[in-house]
Amino acid sequence: MLRLKAGEVPALVDTGAQFSCVRSDVAEFLYLTGGPCVFSLCSVCCVLADGTRAEVTNAMKLHVKLLDFAWGHEFKVLNGGAFPHYPRS
């Protein structure tokens, strides 16, 4: 679980990934809770960890902070896929 000011969300860190992704429901949660994010369009295809292919058309830039380090980072927004979904609090 990743703790944010807005609450907790399930997360997976993969330092070998070609780009970073966020599930669409998590992106919506961050947006609706007032998290500082900027959406943009993109066009990429990727293969997920379970081998399924995903076409990505949206991205969002988030402000990421880890310990004393902070930076802006772009995440591709994944619609669907073989992800566990957790009930919202």
Share of the chain above pLDDT 90, in %: 21
Question: d(Cα 3, Cα 78) in Å, to the nearest integer?
Answer: 20
Q: What CA–CA distance (Å, rounded) separates 80 from 23?
A: 8
pLDDT digits (tens, 9 = 90+) for 17-69: 788 888 898 888 888 888 788 999 999 998 887 888 889 999 999 887 777 88
Is 85 domain-assigned? no
> Which whole-number Å values give the CA distances from 24 to 38, 62, 70, 77, 85, in the listed order?
14, 14, 23, 6, 11
Would you say residue 39 lies in a domain? yes
Decide if 83 is inside a domain: no
Q: Which residues of 13-29 are buried (b: 16+ CB within 10 A; e: fewer)?
A: eeeeeeeebbbebbbeb
Domains: count for the chain: 1
CB-CB contact of 18 with 46 (8 Å)? yes
Q: Is 84 contained in some domain?
A: no
Q: Is residue 54 part of a domain?
A: yes
More confident residue, 35 or 71: 71
Taking residues 65-75, report their average pLDDT. 82
Residue 82: predicted pLDDT = 53
> Can you give the pTM of this predicted structure?
0.71
22 belongs to a structural domain = yes
Of 79, 75, 34, nearest to 54 by C-alpha is 79
Domain with 61 in it: 2-78
Euclidean distance between CA atoms 43 and 66, whole angstroms: 28
Considering the domain boundaries, does residue 71 fall inside one?
yes
> Residue 80's pLDDT band (boundaries 50, 70, 90)?
low
Predicted pLDDT at 67: 74
Flag whether 73 is in a domain: yes
